[in-house]
Structure 1
Amino acid sequence: MVIGTATLLAVPPSHVHEILIEMFRGRPQLAADLLTDSLHMMVPPFEEAQLSPADLTAVAPTEYRADAVVTLDARSGTALAVVIEVQLKVDARKRLSWPVYLTTLHARLHSPVVVLVLCRSRQVADWSAVPIRMGPGSVVTPMALGPDQIPVVTDLHTARRIPELAVLSAMVHGTVPDPTPIFEALLTALDVIDEYHADLYTDLVFSVLPDTAKDFLEEFMTATSHRYHSEFARRYFDQGEAQGEARGKAQGEATSLLAILEARGIEIPDEMRSRIAECTDPVQLGTWIRRAATADKIQDLDELADG
């Protein structure tokens, strides 16, 4: 029985962008983790990471808004401000705005600033990392995080400590010949975050993986030998199993309805037959079955015919 894929959200590029930003909204500490663990940047000591207003407009006529801004705060003030940008494609206009973000934020907070660009592809990451030269002595160098900078996370301790990094690892490295350790780390990460984000990140991973890797992950999550190793995988399996049972019951009721109509000699147009067969609403199917018991023509199933 295939479980789960049919219940996944369709995640268009705009939603991929938003879900990646949500990683930082849900846990601002991620900005520091990625700078230190993935980009090996020396982040100054800080006590708390928190979101800051992302509106970086300096003058009224032109609006500049970053995807997110995270500040790493110490007792003495902001130790480092991080502008988060999710970049899914090359867009020359963005490289014009990144220096504005940094200078405006620097003027607002009087602190060191950096722009962290999260990229899905190597091409976009390489493009994003090119220094932006604004004139003699004025250079802005974005910190770009792409597939080459995202580590292969197989260590379960790391997955628990930085669950979003395990999610990113599964997204970009889940196509290796044997992704089992990567997916094991992914499920471990999903266990330590709240249910809403776990479901959101699962949809994200499934939406970007090719079919072969997607099938492997689903089989891994629902296999008897693995699903009880992870609370998230067990919940995923149980939800899928329940939905599968509901679909099976609906299909049985639809088959019964069609059999009743045929036994009564009622002609069923192809369009109506398809609508009955595809219906998964048990209340609607029950209504149609009761009406079919006394119907003389398809129009007697008023709600179905009027649809």
Structure 2
Amino acid sequence: MVSSPHEAMHRIFQEYPGLFSRVSELLGVPIAAPASVSVMPTDLTESRPVERRVDTLLRFDGEGDESFLLAVEAQGKKDEDKPASWAYYLSYLYTKYRVPPLLLVVCQDRATAEWASRTVSIGPRQWPALTLRPLVAGPHNMPVITNVAEARKDLVLTTLAAITHAADPDIGAILKTLSTALRDAPEIIADPLVELTAQGLGSRPAAQQWRNLVAVDLSFYKSAISEEIRAEGRSEGRSEGRSEGRSEGRSEGIAQGILLFLARAGVDVPDEARERITTCRDLDTLNRWLLRAPTATSVEDVFAEE
């Protein structure tokens, strides 16, 4: 079954084809930005009952005859059968389209990236007939972007870098930088990048960190993930409210969360308002306040319509 990180690592090139020019420069093989890009069919199946599909296939057309096909493969672990498949993909693509093909492999761990980077010679040792040389993007060569100004310069590259560094010990700082940079971006730009990042992190612990950042830093967006987080919060509040024995502890936790959000936003909380929050035991009311807290500019915003 294809995982969500697998999808994100190659689909980001479908959504933002121009990203490849920036990645190729980072990989030491600078390729100029194309004049146009076409998304190609990914089905490489022959008439015989052998099905082969590349993850993403793009056609880059430059000035004159400077055209090439880019096959993007997301690779989660070592697979000794893959080099043969990749060689088949490239040979088939060249046979079918008569356009030079190029393979980019995107990985999320260093060992897999180093394995995928190997040059594979196909043929007798004395005279290999074919040589497979993939470009590989992974945590070994993608930048660790923790500077917000740098992230704002290229939000798409920053998103790919965050996905490839999903297992990095500094992933919290990387994701915080990305979420902060996305705050200033129009929703039409930020929304797909929020979703791609969530997809790319998969079930790793960093995925929950991203969800928390989206709930706070990007709470004004109506993306699928942000709506899902808010729905989970409301559902959890209702579920906890059914248990009388845990109700008080739950209300105290929500109250502390409200105060934490307000503190992070720099909102002043007078003693009277603080007492109102910490002494409230109505879970529905507390959950309403909790949902308002991340975007509040004053404590009155939290109590609006109460």
Q: Which interval holds the TM-score relative to the shorter structure?
A: 0.5 to 0.7
Structure 1 unaligned regions, length at least 5:
1-11, 257-281, 283-307
- 8 Å Cα contact 1:29-1:50 kept in structure 2: no
- 8 Å Cα contact 2:211-2:225 kept in structure 1: no
1:252 aligns with 2:252: no
- 8 Å Cα contact 2:73-2:106 kept in structure 1: yes
Q: Measure, in 2, the Cα distance between the counterparts of 1:238 and 1:147.
A: 30
Q: How big is each residue's C-alpha offset from its partner over 1:245-274, in whole Å with a ceiling of 9 and x where there is no partner?
A: 554345435659xxxxxxxxxxxxxxxxxx
**SS at 1:139 equivalent:** strand
> Of 147, 159, 162, which aligns to 2:151?
159
Shift of 1:84: 0.6
Q: Which residue matches 1:150?
A: 142
Alignment TM-score, normalising by the size of structure 1: 0.62
1:95 aligns with 2:87: no
Q: Measure, in 2, the Cα distance between the counterparts of 1:108 and 1:78.
A: 18
Report how many residues are paired.
238
Shift of 1:100: 1.4
- 8 Å Cα contact 1:51-1:69 kept in structure 2: yes
Shift of 1:198: 1.8
Q: Which residue matches 2:176?
A: 183
Shift of 1:166: 1.8
Q: Measure, in 1, the Cα distance between the counterparts of 2:28 and 2:222.
A: 32
> Of 196, 204, 221, which aligns to 2:200?
204
1:73 aligns with 2:65: no
1:22 aligns with 2:22: no
- 8 Å Cα contact 1:152-1:173 kept in structure 2: no
Alignment TM-score, normalising by the size of structure 2: 0.62
Task: Tell me how large the CA RMSD over aligned residues is.
Answer: 3.8
1:131 aligns with 2:124: no
Q: Which residue matches 2:191?
A: 195
Q: Which residue matches 2:250?
A: none
- 8 Å Cα contact 1:167-1:186 kept in structure 2: no
Distance 1:77 1:178, change over 3 A: closer
Q: Which amino acid in 2 is paired with 1:52?
A: M
**SS at 2:203 equivalent:** helix
Q: Which structure's CA Rg is the greater one?
A: 1
Q: Which sits farther off after the overlay, 84-93 or 177-186?
A: 177-186
Percent of pairs identical after alignment?
22
Q: Measure, in 1, the Cα distance between the counterparts of 2:192 and 2:132.
A: 37
Distance 1:160 1:59, change over 3 A: farther
